[in-house]
Structures are given as structure tokens and as C-alpha cells.
A and B are shown apart, each in its own frame.
Chain A
Amino acid sequence: MSFREKSAWISVLSISGIYGFYFWSVIHTGPNPGTFHFGGLLMTVVALVVLEIVLHIAAAIFNPKEAQAPRDERDKLIELRAMRVAYSGLATGIAFACFFGAFTPPIIFNTNSLLFILVTAEILRYACQVIQYRRGA
């Protein structure tokens, strides 16, 4: 498995795990379930950054040569394809948010809902990279 594929696995698992816990805690805990907690989100972002750095360093130790090498043309193509899929997901999510916001009275998407759309698009991006690396193209 190449370093780039390991990196995509690390990102998809880290984001799913950390944000999965965040959204679970938003729904199930706190005085007002579903409301936005800035402190909780800040801790989530810090935890994600630390976890990704630690896991990427661990992956780089096992294959330092590949970790230092720049992305080749296939890596770039895989990233571009994954970005296209993720953008479609993000645009669809935002279009839904705008659609429901147009109702009278409007169904307003709160910050956590918009964050969920953004996180889902990120997971989609890295999952697409993993799938393409597994397929070989």
C-alpha cells in the first residue's frame, strides 16, 4: 500500500471517528441537544489535527522515502476525481439547505447541519481516493 493510500485511509477514518463522536454527542448530550457548542467543535478540530499528525508521522516512519516524494501524475488525477465527486456532494447538500430555507416559514439549517454537510463531503473525498487506489487507477 502506497503512502498516499495510507494517508487517504488515515483521513477517512480519523474524520469519520472524530466527527462521528462530535455529532453523536451533539444529538445525545448537553442541555439543548442539537444546538451548536463552540467549545465542543474547537476540541473536535484540535483532536482531529493531533490524531492526523500522529498517524501520518507513524505512516511516514515505515516508508520515509515515499512520504517525502512529491505526488505523481496518478496521485494528482485521483485527487482531482475525488474532489469532483466531493464537490457534487457538497453542492447537493447546500442546494437542499437553500431549498428548505425557501419554505414559509423557512426550515433553517443550523450550524451543525451545515457542518454535517461539509464533513460528509470531506469523507466522500477521501473515500473516493481510497476506492480509486484499491482499484489501481
Chain B
Amino acid sequence: MNASQRLDATFAALADPTRRAILARLATGNASVLELAKPFDMSQPAISKHLKVLERAGLISRGRDAQRRPSRLEARPLAEATSWLADYRIFWERSFQNLDALLEELKTQQKKQRRAGRNRRSQ
């Protein structure tokens, strides 16, 4: 996978609320399928399916222990995804803030010109 495909896989994986909740749970520590299934009121096969999507996206890794196969959160793809999100939003937020400042400057200029125009006319 290249960077863009990896990002696609990350976002597709994050689009589901259950998978986001699983990540939030794993942020507090590694957990087995059984431990993850409990709070979600879901079958183990359903949880396993979500874990496969998360694993393919590189968001988690699974332990070798054949019985428990504990899931572990992988921080790097999450960090890549969030920095990308932040970039896009920040681009527009900062640009519009710059525009606010520019508009204030133009309004001040316009007022000065109007005042100068009035002074000329009254002379």
C-alpha cells in the first residue's frame, strides 16, 4: 500500500462507530476478542470481523498467542490520519482568519478615503 491507499484504509476503518469504540478501548490497554465483545453486546465473530478491518488498516496488531490473540493499538497510522485531517481544516480556518484581517484593513482604508473625499468637497 502507498501512503494514499494506507490513508484510505485508515479512514474506511475509522468510519464505523464500533471500530472507533474498539480503538478507544484498546487505548487503555491490550484486550482479547472476548474482552472486547463484552461491552459491545456483540458476538465474537462480529468483533473479529471489525478487528480484521482494523488490522488490515494497520490500526491494530494481534498477538501470536493462539488462544487469546490480544489486540494492540498501533499509533502511527492514527497519527498520520489525524495530521492529515488537521492540515485540511487548518488550511481553511487559518486562511479565513487571514481574510478577516485583510477585510478589516480594507474597511479602514475605505473610511479614510471617504473622509478625505468629504474634506475635499467641503473645501
Question: Is B truly associated with A?
Answer: no
